[in-house]
Each structure stands twice: as structure tokens, then as C-alpha cells.
């Protein structure tokens, strides 16, 4: 399963990309706004750090405007994937962008039937937001299960399932068990994923034993 870092903070992207486990990056207008920087500049800088799909979202609400914006964003770097909202105008834009060979990530997906529409419009990826469903008492992961099962049953569907709005490491564990193609990971979630108390205790014990053995054994001249 691929991991896409979900942030527009370039310092964080640089830090986590150095681990060698990040396959791409997802951003959205809220994350870009939080960075306080010019949209295009941030996307360009992210593309220079991570060599993989970088999602940049359109803000127009009509298909024509989305396509214009999408073409402009795709022109920033060949790795840019145009993020389009899952509304009727977004489906039209997805169809048009994919006909032009521009990759799309259809976002704000909250139901299996929305995901089917994204796939039929030719989306490269669809982003179901599981955390936001959990937040209101629904089971976000059930949505992933439905979409993965459906897409698997129809081999002509090539749209990748990108699990978005992940909130904790168990979301990633469940996504990988279900066979989702990609999971987003906010930076703090990567810290959670890498950390285990037994790893820390084990390492401390190994180093302590090593130190003791070296003090006890005669050292080479
Ligand atoms: O990038 C989209 C998504 O991952 C947003 O997550 O935490 O704002 O629901 P969240």
C-alpha cells in the first residue's frame, strides 16, 4: 500500500520524505491556506522534494473553471494530480481532464455510489474521507470495504482507492488489511506508526548489554 503524506508543510515533507517511505503528497485548500504561502509555489516546492503523485485541488465550482485550473496546475509539474470535488460539475471536469491525459483525484467522497461515479468519470484516484464519517458516529472503514470490494468485482475499474482523513495508526492498519491502494498519512500519524514501546525498550536493553560486554571483555590492543 502506498503512503501519501497529507500536508502542505514543506519542512515536514522534507523531514518525513527523508525516511524513504513516502510515495506521494496530498494537499487541500485548507492545508495550503494554513501554510500561508502562494499555492503554486508550495506545489512546485513539494514536487521538488517528493518524486510521486502530488495532489493539488481546484477551487472553481463549475466544470469549465475546474478544467482551466486543472490544466494550469498540471502544468506546474508532471507529478501533479488534479484534485476535484465529488459534485456533478466535478465529474464533468474529471471526464474532460482525463480525456486530456491529466490525472485526477476525486475528493470529498462519502459513499460507495459516489465512488462509482468518480470511477466512471475516469478518476485516477478517489478519496473517501473516513475520519469525518467516524466523527459523526458512522463507520468510515465500512466505506473503504464497500469501495474496495466493488472495484475488485469490476476489473475494468482502474481508479485507485485513496483512504483519506485518517486520524490514527489503526485506520492505516485496517486500510492495508482491506487492500486499499493508498492511505494518506498526516505527519503525526507517521510518528505513531513508527513508534512502539517494545522497540524502544528492546533497543535500550541491547545497547546496555553491549556496553556491559565491552567493559567486561578485554579490548584489542
Ligand atoms: O486531504 C484530505 C483529508 O485527508 C482531510 O482530512 O483530517 O481534514 O478530515 P481531515
pLDDT tens-digit map of 83-129: 999 999 999 999 999 999 999 999 999 999 999 999 999 999 999 99
How does DSSP classify residue 7?
-
Name the residue with the closest Cα to ligand 1, atom 6: 165
Q: What is the pLDDT of residues 141-183, one digit of tens each?
A: 999 999 999 999 999 999 999 999 999 999 999 999 999 999 9
Whether residue 188 lies in the annotated active site: no
Q: Which atom of ligand 1 is nearest to the CA of 164?
A: 4
Residue nearest to atom 7 of ligand 1 (CA): 165
Label residue 221 by pLDDT band (50, 70, 90).
Answer: low
pLDDT at 5 over 80: yes
Mutate to test the pocket of ligand 1, among 24, 126, 184 (most ligand atoms within 8 A of CB): 184
User: What is the Å distance from ligand 1's center to 165 Cα?
Assistant: 4
Q: How far apart are CA 204 and CA 127, in angstroms?
A: 40
**Residue 29: CB within 6 Å of ligand 1?**
no
Cα(215) to centroid of ligand 1, in Å?
52
pLDDT digits (tens, 9 = 90+) for 181-208: 999 999 999 999 999 999 999 999 999 9
Catalytic member of 83, 95, 188, 212: 83
The confidence score (pLDDT) of residue 150 equals 97
Give the pLDDT confidence of 9-22 residue by residue, as tens digits.
999 999 999 999 99
Q: How many A from CA of 78 to the centre of ligand 1?
A: 24
Residue closest to 172 by CA, chosen among 131, 135, 126, 116: 131
Residue 8 near ligand 1, beta carbon < 6 Å: no
> How far is the CA of 28 from the CAs of 52, 109, 155, in angstroms?
17, 14, 30
Q: CATH top-level class for 2-215? A: alpha beta
- The pLDDT of residue 35 is 87
CA distance 29 to 111: 22
Q: Is residue 105 in contact with ligand 1, taking CB distance under 6 Å? A: no
Give the atom of ligand 1 at the shortest distance from the alpha carbon of 131. Answer: 9
Distance CA 200, CA 196 (A): 7
% the chain with pLDDT above 90: 93
Q: Is the pLDDT of residue 217 over 80?
A: no
Q: Whose CA is nearest to atom 5 of ligand 1?
A: 165
Mean pLDDT of 38-67: 97
Instruction: Determine the average pLDDT of the residues in 126-147.
Output: 98
Which own/partner pairs from 110-115 qualify as long-range (CB within 8 Å, at least 24 positions apart)?
110/143, 111/143, 112/143, 112/146, 112/147, 112/150, 114/86, 115/147, 115/150, 115/151, 115/159, 115/161
Amino acid at each position: 500500500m502506498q503512503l501519501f503524506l497529507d500536508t502542505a508543510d514543506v519542512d515536514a515533507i522534507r523531514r518525513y520524505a527523508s525516511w524513504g517511505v513516502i510515495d506521494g503528497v496530498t494537499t487541500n485548500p485548507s492545508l495550503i491556506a494554513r501554510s500561508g504561502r502562494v499555492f503554486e509555489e508550495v506545489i512546485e516546492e513539494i514536487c521538488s522534494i517528493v518524486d510521486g503523485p502530488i495532489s493539488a485541488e481546484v477551487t472553481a465550482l463549475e466544470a469549465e473553471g475546474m478544467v482551466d485550473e486543472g490544466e494550469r496546475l498540471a502544468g506546474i509539474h508532471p507529478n501533479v494530480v488534479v484534485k476535484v470535488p465529488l459534485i456533478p460539475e466535478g465529474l464533468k471536469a474529471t471526464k474532460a481532464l482525463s480525456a486530456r491525459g491529466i490525472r485526477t483525484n476525486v475528493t470529498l467522497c462519502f459513499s460507495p455510489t459516489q465512488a462509482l461515479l468518480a470511477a466512471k468519470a475516469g478518476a485516477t484516484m478517489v478519496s473517501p474521507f473516513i475520519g469525518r464519517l467516524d466523527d459523526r458516529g458512522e463507520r468510515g472503514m465500512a466505506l473503504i470495504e464497500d469501495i474496495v470490494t466493488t472495484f475488485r468485482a469490476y476489473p475494468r475499474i482502474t481508479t485507485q482507492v485513496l483512504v483519506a482523513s485518517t486520524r490514527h495508526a489503526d485506520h492505516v492498519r485496517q486500510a492495508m488489511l482491506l487492500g486499499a491502494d493508498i492511505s494518506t498519512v498526516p505527519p503525526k500519524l507517521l510518528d505513531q506508526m513508527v513508534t512502539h514501546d517494545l522497540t524502544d525498550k528492546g533497543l535500550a536493553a541491547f545497547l546496555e548489554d553491549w556496553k556491559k560486554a565491552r567493559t567486561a571483555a578485554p579490548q584489542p590492543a
